[in-house]
Amino acid sequence: MNYKYAGIAGGVVVAIIATFVAVAHFSTNPQKWIAKRYRTVGYHRYHSPKPPSLVAAEVTRKFRPLDRVTDSAGTYLQYSKWVVGVLPSGTGSDITVDGPSAGYSRYASHVGGHWQRPGSSGWNRRGGASFRGGGSGSGK
């Protein structure tokens, strides 16, 4: 194989890898999917005419959450980098999408007894804090 074709082959490999990375990112990001599917009413806030149970079911079919808490006020879905709240609003639903810390803070009265406070990088696959800090002087 000469150098001309090696460069082309390398470029094709890089393009294929970039495509897989992009597909993986967008297929694991509930915020982008929710933004496309439901009507935007604010920053990371959406509305659906469907009832909360149906909206929560649609989101969890597309993105399997680490955990789910449902109470009389709504359904809260925990993802490693997101918290999705699905709340009743008239005959429909309001949907919020927050990062781990903001979502935990917003819904702490509903999820605080079920979820750990997230680490600086969100939650791990088991729903625990993914990073708790450290460095010199920690643990003393």
**pLDDT tens per residue across span 5-47:** 666 666 665 555 544 444 443 446 899 999 999 999 999 999 9
- DSSP strand pairing (45-48 vs 83-89): unpaired
Residue 74 is predicted with a pLDDT of 97
pTM value?
0.73
**pLDDT tens per residue across span 53-101:** 999 999 999 999 999 999 999 999 999 999 999 999 999 999 999 999 9
Domains of the chain: 38-130 (3.30.310)
CA–CA separation, 83 and 98 (whole Å)? 5
Residue entry with tokens 């649609």: 58
